[in-house]
Amino acid sequence: MSKMTLSEELSWRGFIKQTTIKDIKELDNKKIIFYHGYDASADSQTIGNLAAMMFDKVFLRHGHKAVILAGGATSMIGDPGGKDKERPMQSEEVISFNVSCAEKQLKQVFKDNDFTLVNNIEWFKSMNVIDYLRGVGKHFSMTPLIQRDYIAKRIGEDGDGISYTEFSYTILQGYDFLYLYRKYGVNLQLAGSDQWGNSLSGIDLIRRVEGVEVDVITLPLVINKTTGKKFGKSEDGAVWLDENKTSVFKFYQFWLNIDDEGCEEYLKIYTELDKKEIDSVLKEFENNRSSRYAQKVLAKEITSLLHGRDRALSAEKVSNVLFGGENFMDLNDNELELLSKELATVKYLDDIIELIVSANLATSKTEARNLVNSGAINLNGNKISLDEYGFIEGINLLKKGKNSFVLVKK
């Protein structure tokens, strides 16, 4: 990495939205033990959560210690922040499974770093209601809590209301900070900007109970500059870190197809490339935007981080076969397997016209014949004719135009 200080790198990468620290340069001469909590309301984290993990990794690269929290207890309650209605409650079994999935993904992203992984069910499961009310609840004033935007909106005239359960979420998160301060010496919370209010609960609680000042830094929500929507949301839903929900190929393709305008921001947030490296990428990109060089670097770096370098290279090669003119015949078994998960596979038929129709590349034999005659049908990288096409034994790639593909098994 470059010789940037921690405060310089955080600012350069755009990781600071709000903070209780008066001068961010204070971080450069301080021993930091931070914690960052991750929700377990779903069985996978998303690329929004990945941005938060990359935020954490900046601190780790600068030699600070991390306590990463999988919210087994708080996920049972549900964070009301950003929600107009009460979340449906999930069973303990579902939350426990989700926590195990979160822990697996956190370990994957932080695999090269030392960190402590905790689950807040560990300390909440033995806390009874009297302990909670006397030891925690008595330190919170109702007035500032009900004035917080997301709570005020829910209990206002047009609001949907809020249960005591969800109202208590901010108190539980505040106690997380206190517990981790006492056990691990945590003196900084990292969080998303939507957690600012909840983070202040922990700061206030530690000040009241321990007489100590601790801090919080939140990172901004990543926004798609083209759509103005939360980054990672598409027509098909979120972009997940679990390959069973977003395949390695689709994950790679998502980054490969992002808008030009967001490239610089995403390179800073989602990769560990330093300033010199990113400046070099952007310079080459600006010289020829049609090459999509920045997107290619971004896709390879992030897919490598999450799924490993070999699988990222396989996704790159398959993409180049489908869209970049590389030879289909050069794909190895692993790459063919990756491709087979993305494309429909049909059985070989001796009649090429019937095969094109059965593969849904044409709606009729007449259309199929016209496609072949116009040179719109490609087999394993070569245009075919009605008299000459030449399928190989095994898997073949049949292509119509630029973006319609099907695998043919002979």
> pLDDT band at 291, cuts 50/70/90?
very high
Task: Determine what percent of the chain falls in helix, strand and coil, rounding each to the nearest 5.
Answer: 50, 15, 35
State pLDDT tens for residues 187-227.
999 999 989 988 999 999 999 999 999 999 999 999 877 77
Contact 38, 69 (CB under 8 A): yes
CA–CA distance, 283 with 277 (Å, rounded to integer): 10
Helix ranges restricted to H, 185-292: 196-210, 248-256, 263-270, 275-287
State pLDDT tens for residues 392-410.
999 999 999 989 999 999 9
Q: What percent of the chain has pLDDT over 90?
A: 72
84 pLDDT more than 70: no
Of how many residues is the chain composed? 410
Q: Say how many C-beta atoms besides its own lie within 10 A of residue 280's C-beta.
A: 12
CA–CA distance, 10 with 188 (Å, rounded to integer): 15
Least confidently predicted of 76-90, 204-218, 359-373: 76-90
CA–CA distance, 336 with 331 (Å, rounded to integer): 6
Contact 51, 238 (CB under 8 A): no
> pLDDT band at 164, cuts 50/70/90?
confident
- In the chain, DSSP finds a helix count (H) and a strand count (E) of 19, 13
For 72, 98, 221, the CA distances from 102, given in Å and listed in that order, are 10, 6, 20
Question: Tokens for 393?
Answer: 């034994």
What is the C-alpha R_g of the chain?
26
Environment class of 282 (CB within 10 Å of its CB; exposed 0-12, middle 13-18, buried 19+): middle
For 189, 192, 302, the CA distances from 37, given in Å and listed in that order, are 9, 10, 22
CA–CA distance, 410 with 407 (Å, rounded to integer): 10
Does the model's pTM come out above 0.85?
Answer: yes
Q: Say how many C-beta atoms besides its own lie within 10 A of residue 358's C-beta.
A: 17
Contact 74, 37 (CB under 8 A): yes
189: alpha, beta or left? (left if phi > 0; alpha if psi -120 to 50): beta
Please give the sequence-ordered ranges of beta strands (E in DSSP) within 126-285, or none if there are none: 188-192, 215-219, 233-234, 237-238
6 pLDDT more than 60: yes
Residue closest to 281 by CA, chosen among 304, 298, 305: 298
